[in-house]
Chains A and B, each alone.
Chain A
Amino acid sequence: MIMGSRETILQAIALNKPDLAELPEVDISITSHYNDVVRQFGAMIEAAGGSVFNMNSIQTLLNEISAIKEDGKFVINLFGDSDIDQLKGLNAENLEELDTCYLLAQLGVAENGALWVSEKQMFNRLIPFICQHLVIVLNPKNIVSNMHEAYNQINAASDGFGVFIAGPSKTADIEQNLVIGAHGARSLRVCLMDLVDS
Chain B
Amino acid sequence: MNVKTHAEAAQEFILNEPRTDWHDETLWFVRQKRDKAVNTVAEWEILRDWASKIKNHTLSNLDHYLKSFEENAIANGIIVHWALNAEEHNQIIHKIITDNEVKKIVKSKSMLTEECHLNEYLQKKGINILDTDLGEYIVQLRQETPSHIVLPAIHLKRQDVSQTFHEHLNTEKGNYNPEYLAESARIHLRKHFIEADLAITGVNFAIAESGGFVVCTNEGNADMGVHSAKIHIACMGIEKLIPKISHLGVFLRLLARSATGQPITTYSSHFSRPRSGQQMHVIIVDNGRSRQLGRPDFRNSLKCIRCAACFNTCPVYRRSGGHSYHSTVAGPIGSILNPNLDMKANSDLPFASTLCGSCSNVCPVKINIHEQLWKWRQTIAVNGYVDKSKKTGMQIMAWILSDPKVYRISGKIGRWVMRTLPFMVNNRLNVWYKQREMPEAPGKSFRDWIKENK
Residues of B within 8 A of A168 (CB): 266
Residues of B within 8 A of A141 (CB): none
Report the minimum CB–CB distance from B59 to chain A (whole Å).
Answer: 7
B158 in contact with A129 (CB, 8 Å): no
Given A13-B62, A179-B178, A156–B245 Cβ distance below 8 Å?
yes
Q: Interface of chain A, helix or strand or loop or mixed? A: loop
B263 in contact with A112 (CB, 8 Å): yes
For chain B, residues 172 to 201, give those with C-beta under 8 angstroms from any C-beta of chain A.
178-179, 181-183, 186, 189-190, 193-194
For chain A, residues 142 to 187, give those with C-beta under 8 angstroms from any C-beta of chain B.
146-148, 150-152, 156-177, 179, 181-185
Report the minimum CB–CB distance from A188 to chain B (whole Å).
Answer: 9
Residue in B182, B183, B260 whose Cβ sees the most chain A Cβ within 10 Å: B182
A176 and B22 alpha carbons, distance in the complex (Å): 11
For chain B, residues 218 to 239, give those with C-beta under 8 angstroms from any C-beta of chain A.
218-221, 223-224, 226-228, 238
Residues of B within 8 A of A175 (CB): 26, 156-158, 161, 178
Report the minimum CB–CB distance from A161 to chain B (whole Å).
Answer: 6
A93 and B186 alpha carbons, distance in the complex (Å): 15
B88 in contact with A10 (CB, 8 Å): no
Report the minimum CB–CB distance from A79 to chain B (whole Å).
Answer: 20
Residue B273, interface by CB 8 Å = yes
Interface size on B, residues (CB 8 A): 94
Residue in A113, A148, A152 whose Cβ sees the most chain B Cβ within 10 Å: A148
A9 in contact with B286 (CB, 8 Å): yes
Residue in A18, A31, A125, A174 whose Cβ sees the most chain B Cβ within 10 Å: A174
B269 in contact with A16 (CB, 8 Å): no
The contact string, 1 if C-beta is below 8 Å from chain A, for chain B 408-440, is: 000000000000000000000000000000000
CB-based nearest B residue for A122: B227
A119 and B161 alpha carbons, distance in the complex (Å): 37
A89 and B54 alpha carbons, distance in the complex (Å): 45
Report the minimum CB–CB distance from A86 to chain B (whole Å).
Answer: 18
A183 and B42 alpha carbons, distance in the complex (Å): 34
Which of these, B67, B153, B223, B224, contacts A173 with CB under 8 Å? B153
Residue B442, interface by CB 8 Å = no
A21 and B56 alpha carbons, distance in the complex (Å): 6
B272 in contact with A146 (CB, 8 Å): no
Residue A196, interface by CB 8 Å = no
Given A6-B82, A163-B269, A173–B152 Cβ distance below 8 Å?
yes
A32 and B47 alpha carbons, distance in the complex (Å): 11
A4 in contact with B82 (CB, 8 Å): yes
B263 in contact with A166 (CB, 8 Å): yes
Residues of A within 8 A of B84 (CB): 5, 8-9
Report the minimum CB–CB distance from B280 to chain A (whole Å).
Answer: 9
Residues of B within 8 A of A177 (CB): 158, 178
Binds B, one of A22-30, A67-75, A99-107: A22-30
Residue A130, interface by CB 8 Å = yes
A5 and B219 alpha carbons, distance in the complex (Å): 35
B294 in contact with A15 (CB, 8 Å): yes
A26 in contact with B219 (CB, 8 Å): no
B294 in contact with A166 (CB, 8 Å): no
Which of these, B57, B186, B284, contacts A183 with CB under 8 Å? B186
B266 in contact with A48 (CB, 8 Å): yes
Residues of B within 8 A of A14 (CB): 63
Residues of A within 8 A of B158 (CB): 174-175, 177
B218 in contact with A156 (CB, 8 Å): no
A173 and B245 alpha carbons, distance in the complex (Å): 30
Given A13-B63, A23-B54, A183-B189, A163–B267 Cβ distance below 8 Å?
yes
CB-based nearest B residue for A32: B42
Which of these, B50, B138, B193, contacts A24 with CB under 8 Å? B50
Given A9-B238, A156-B248, A183-B220, A164–B183 Cβ distance below 8 Å?
no
B249 in contact with A147 (CB, 8 Å): yes
Given A126-B227, A163-B269, A17–B62 Cβ distance below 8 Å?
yes
Residues of B within 8 A of A182 (CB): 134, 182, 186, 218-221
Residue B385, interface by CB 8 Å = no
For chain B, residues 142 to 165, give those with C-beta under 8 angstroms from any C-beta of chain A.
151-154, 156-158, 161
For chain A, residues 96 to 118, give those with C-beta under 8 angstroms from any C-beta of chain B.
96, 109, 111-114
Which of these, B76, B182, B194, contacts A174 with CB under 8 Å? B182
B194 in contact with A93 (CB, 8 Å): yes
Residue B391, interface by CB 8 Å = no
A28 and B250 alpha carbons, distance in the complex (Å): 10
Which of these, A147, A158, A161, contacts B271 with CB under 8 Å? A161
Residues of B within 8 A of A26 (CB): 50, 54, 246-247, 249-250
Residue A12, interface by CB 8 Å = yes
List 5 A-B pairs, Cβ < 8 Å.
Answer: A130-B224, A146-B249, A176-B30, A176-B154, A182-B182
Residues of B within 8 A of A (CB): 26, 29-30, 41-43, 46, 49-50, 53-54, 56-57, 59-63, 66-67, 76, 82-84, 88, 132-135, 138, 151-154, 156-158, 161, 178-179, 181-183, 186, 189-190, 193-194, 207, 210-212, 218-221, 223-224, 226-228, 238, 243, 245-250, 252-253, 260, 262-275, 284, 286, 290-291, 293-294, 296, 299
Complex A-B, nearest 3 residue pairs according to Cβ-Cβ distance, in ascending order: A184-B220, A16-B294, A112-B263
Besides A12-B291, A129-B227, 9 new A-B residue pairs in contact (Cβ under 8 A), listed by A number = A21-B60, A31-B46, A48-B263, A111-B253, A113-B263, A125-B226, A163-B269, A169-B267, A174-B134
